[in-house]
Amino acid sequence: MLTKRKVYDILMMSPKGLQQRRDKMVNEQLRREIKKKFKTDMEMAEKMGWTKQKLSKTILGQRCPKVSDINAMSNALEIPVETVISFFIQ
């Protein structure tokens, strides 16, 4: 018998489900780093010269960051570029 939990588990193992889990991990890791340095996402977005929407879409995995975006995030968060990259390639 298929339970709601089994259906959920099956969906999360699908390519789309795996993508959603990866995006959630990116989201959580970036959020932790942002909270260490900034009071709000808007504060970070302003420091980088971004809109809040651009930052939000990047954090949620809805847009792929460019090299310049990775550098901007690294500078704003004061963490190595490699660390920022690692958030997106897990």
Decide which of 70 and 3 is more confident. Answer: 70
Q: Which domains does the chain have, with CATH numbers?
A: 23-88 (1.10.260.40)
User: For the chain, how many residues are written?
Assistant: 90
pTM to 2 decimals? 0.71
The pLDDT value given to residue 61: 78
Burial class (CB in 10 A: 0-12, 13-18, 19+), 87: buried
